[in-house]
Structures are given as C-alpha cells and as structure tokens.
Homo-oligomer: A and B are copies of this chain.
C-alpha cells in the first residue's frame, strides 16, 4: 500500500492519527523541525523530532534533499504556519544527500543556475509550482475539448511536407553523415534515407488537422512543434508544444467565440484547482518586481491578470480600426513606441498589442481581418481582396497569445495564393483535395502552450516553463 501524500495529510482535520509518509527534506531546523515535501503540494508538512530520543548519527543524515520515511502521530500544530504536524516516532533515511555537494540548497538560486540543474529544479518551490500548473493547464485543455465534442488528433511529428512556411525546420535523417550516399551529380541521395526523401520536424499540425476536421467535424491537436531559428531570447524555444483546434462549418465569428470560451475555461480551471501554487507564484512575482523601477512593474498581480481574462468580454476590433487607434494614440504621437505606427499594412509589435489591451480597451482584445500580406496563404481572403479572415487574441503583459483564421475553402483562390508564394501544387495535393471534395467553411486557431504557461505562472523566461528547454547550443538531459 502507498502512504498518503503530504497534500492529503495537510487536509486532515482529525488529530492523533497514526500516519506514515515518505518525502524529501526541505529544511531541518534546530535539530527538531523537519520540513518535508513530496511534490503533491507547495506546502511542506512539519515533522517534529524529539532529538533526545534519536541517534545523533541518524539525525546528522537528515539534510536538505535527503529522502526519508517518517512514522508518527498527526497532531494539531503548536507553531504558526500549519494546522497539523507529525510527532515523529520512527525515522529512516532512505537516501542521503551530501550537503557539501547537493546543488539545491535552501537559499535563493538564480534561474540560470537552476536551468543547468533542470533535473533537480522541480525540488524548489517555484519550479514545482510551475510544473504542477503546467500539468493542470494541460488537463484543463483536454477536458474542455472532450466536453465540447472535439476529438484529439495526433498530427505527425516527422513530415515530408515543408510547405507551411512557418519557419526554419530541423532535418530528420538516418543517413550516416560520415558517408553520405550521393546521386550521379554529386547531391545527397535522399532516396536512400529512411523515408526515401527529405524529412523535417513539423512546425504545425494545422494542415493535417484540417483533414480530420473535414471528416470528424471538431478536432484538436496538442503536440510538440519545432523551429530551427537561431533566436536566443526569453520568448523562443526550438521545441515547444502547441494546441490547434480545427472545426468544420465554423466561420471566423464562431472561431472567436470558441477561442474566448476556451481561454476562459482553462484559466478558470487553474484558478479553481491550483490556488496555493498561484498564490505562491503571485508573491514570487511581486518580490521579483520590487527591485525593478516602477515603470517595469506589472499593473496587475498574477491572479488579477488571470481574473482580467475570465471576467471581461474580449473586445473584437478589426486590424484597420486598431491601426487608427494606435496611430492617434498618445505614445505614438509622443514617439514613445519603439516602432511608430504609420502605415496600414504593418505588423503589430508587442508594445502596440499591450497598449490596446492594457491602456485603451482595458480588456482582452481580438483583432481580426488582417492584411493578407502579413498572414499565411491558407487564410480566407475577404471580398476586399486585401485582408484575410485572421484573428489574434491579445492578453495583458504578453500581447498575442492565440492566432487563428477562417481557412480558404475555395480551391481556385487557394491555388492563386499558393502560386503567389511558389508552393508547388504537388506538395499539397492532399490539402487541395479537401477543397475538391466536399469543401466547406472551416476555422481554427493555434495556441503556443508555453506562452499560456508563462501567462498563468508569471514566469518571465520561456525556458523556465518547460521541463528540459531546447535552445541554440543547448540540448542537455
């Protein structure tokens, strides 16, 4: 039988219960108070040791990071900060942790240092809270789609199709680089490779998800996607997870309804299920920002930001209206924007998106009907011939978090748009088939999962919201 978890014990009201528990020592204070954690909650359970009754050599082994097994009585705590504690009767050290070498000491470590110890960093409060939230958000996503009649679809990771143009791709091969097979004219002979042709890691599952939407109706993907871009920033990963719902017979308005309802639902889920972790992370963020100049601090606390999303209607504004607002805005006229807003057709920057959300509308914003030239070929062209039925959802502090569109369902227009950017029709024969046979209006969107985790945890660097981040020059573990 498994022992109860710390989380279960802490929610016990009954005192004087014989209990046992296994976990890792966070701190051992005054040779008497062990703070024990097992990952089930941000909180530790206090184990009180009557040191007179225990072997001194044993107590010396109760160090930060050691795994221990405790038996005793669960009693009401005399001290502050916890309702119950364990009066230890039996103590066993399962695994020692040498305090001279153990990297995770009970002090503040830099996030850089913890990234180098990503295999141990969930032994800290911050990273255990972040990863519990990541897990809870994942489940909320699956739950939402399941309850709303969507089917989960695993889009392929290795792909022979590189037509989406969303970014630089990683090559996948099983050829021996030291002895590449060559064709007669000296090129690499990919017919000898595993798949008989050049293959890459996917940048998006959307096109494949469309094939499933056009038969199963409502589907979504939730899987890893990749970009081989040399972006060494706090917002980019080479490997990240993406959620991409796709729905047949749904237009852009329905897409906005879906995205708003979905985002509110998953954030409500963590507000309801992860309160303690959120409160810890909220406090962490406040502490972090205390040392910053006023201008760089958040206007809202972490939980206020989450409520801002769940409690407000998302304002729907066309790109053209947004450009007008931004052009005439105070920061634009006073040249406070780094990128000044002048011409219709420009791509918006995070500073513009945040201005719209945080200063102008004071609610989450959905921009729609973007210029065709700055959006992807598969987005449905409007009758004006220059805008497409795209939408981006903008959140406080972070700017764009969701990007979606109604898809171009008309074969002739799709072909024109593919031709304009030189995508050969034979590369996307199957995608065109969807427009040849029973085509219909359909729409979907993409959400970068790590952007959502950053938003929900208040973490500032994307490397700190995924277990083992992959970035230029780094694929450790």
> Closest approach, in angstroms, between the C-beta of A242 and any C-beta of chain B?
12
B residues in contact with A40, CB < 8 Å: 149, 216-218
> Closest approach, in angstroms, between the C-beta of A446 and any C-beta of chain B?
17
B residues in contact with A65, CB < 8 Å: 437-438
- Partner of A156 from the list B22, B170, B468 (CB cut-off 8 Å) is B468
Whether A195 pairs with B437 at a CB distance below 8 angstroms is no
- Partner of A119 from the list B101, B230, B433, B468 (CB cut-off 8 Å) is B433
- Partner of A215 from the list B123, B174, B254 (CB cut-off 8 Å) is B123
Whether A475 pairs with B199 at a CB distance below 8 angstroms is yes
Asked whether A5 and B170 contact (CB < 8 A) given A24-B438, A217-B38, the answer is no
Closest B-chain residue to A124, C-beta based? B215
Instruction: Enumerate the 6 nearest inter-chain pairs by beta-carbon distance, A residue then B residue, closest first.
Output: A95-B439, A39-B216, A39-B217, A135-B151, A122-B215, A195-B475
Q: Residue A113 at the B interface, CB < 8 A?
A: no
Among A170, A208, A238, A437, residue most surrounded by chain B Cβ atoms (within 10 Å): A437
User: How far is it, in angstroms, between the C-alpha of A477 and the C-alpha of B38 when the chains are bound?
Assistant: 45
B residues in contact with A215, CB < 8 Å: 24, 39, 120, 122-123, 128
Closest B-chain residue to A38, C-beta based? B217
Q: Which of these binds chain B: A158-166, A338-346, A455-463?
A: A158-166
Whether A152 pairs with B177 at a CB distance below 8 angstroms is no
User: How far is it, in angstroms, between the C-alpha of A473 and the C-alpha of B191 when the chains are bound?
Assistant: 8
B residues in contact with A175, CB < 8 Å: 171
A residues 212-261 with Cβ under 8 Å of B? Answer: 212, 215-218, 223-224, 226, 228, 230, 238-239, 241, 248-250, 254
> Closest approach, in angstroms, between the C-beta of A442 and any C-beta of chain B?
10
> Closest approach, in angstroms, between the C-beta of A15 and any C-beta of chain B?
24
Whether A466 pairs with B217 at a CB distance below 8 angstroms is no
Whether B472 pairs with A194 at a CB distance below 8 angstroms is yes
Whether B438 pairs with A196 at a CB distance below 8 angstroms is no
In the complex, besides A132-B151, A195-B472, A195-B474, 6 extra interface pairs with C-beta distance below 8 angstroms are A39-B216, A94-B440, A131-B153, A156-B475, A156-B477, A224-B224
User: How far is it, in angstroms, between the C-alpha of A241 and the C-alpha of B156 when the chains are bound?
Assistant: 10
User: How far is it, in angstroms, between the C-alpha of A157 and the C-alpha of B227 when the chains are bound?
Assistant: 13
- Partner of A475 from the list B101, B154, B197, B250 (CB cut-off 8 Å) is B197
B residues in contact with A299, CB < 8 Å: none
Whether A437 pairs with B95 at a CB distance below 8 angstroms is yes
Whether A249 pairs with B3 at a CB distance below 8 angstroms is yes
B residues in contact with A435, CB < 8 Å: 95
Closest B-chain residue to A102, C-beta based? B437
Q: Which of these binds chain B: A138-146, A361-369, A371-379?
A: A138-146
Asked whether A5 and B139 contact (CB < 8 A) given A98-B437, A157-B224, A228-B174, the answer is no
B residues in contact with A474, CB < 8 Å: 195-196
Q: Residue A348 at the B interface, CB < 8 A?
A: no
Among A65, A96, A215, A434, residue most surrounded by chain B Cβ atoms (within 10 Å): A215
Q: Residue A409 at the B interface, CB < 8 A?
A: yes
Closest B-chain residue to A122, C-beta based? B215
User: How far is it, in angstroms, between the C-alpha of A248 and the C-alpha of B226 when the chains are bound?
Assistant: 31
Q: Residue A9 at the B interface, CB < 8 A?
A: no
User: How far is it, in angstroms, between the C-alpha of A81 and the C-alpha of B249 when the chains are bound?
Assistant: 27
A residues 404-454 with Cβ under 8 Å of B? Answer: 409, 430-431, 433-441
Whether B24 pairs with A430 at a CB distance below 8 angstroms is no
User: How far is it, in angstroms, between the C-alpha of A216 and the C-alpha of B274 when the chains are bound?
Assistant: 15
Closest B-chain residue to A409, C-beta based? B95
Q: Residue A50 at the B interface, CB < 8 A?
A: no
Q: Residue A78 at the B interface, CB < 8 A?
A: no
- Partner of A152 from the list B119, B135, B188 (CB cut-off 8 Å) is B135
Closest B-chain residue to A173, C-beta based? B171
> Closest approach, in angstroms, between the C-beta of A34 and any C-beta of chain B?
13
Whether B120 pairs with A437 at a CB distance below 8 angstroms is yes
Asked whether A95 and B212 contact (CB < 8 A) given A158-B238, A178-B187, A477-B156, the answer is no
Closest B-chain residue to A468, C-beta based? B156
A residues 91-143 with Cβ under 8 Å of B? Answer: 94-98, 101-102, 104, 118-120, 122-123, 128, 131-132, 134-135, 138-139, 142
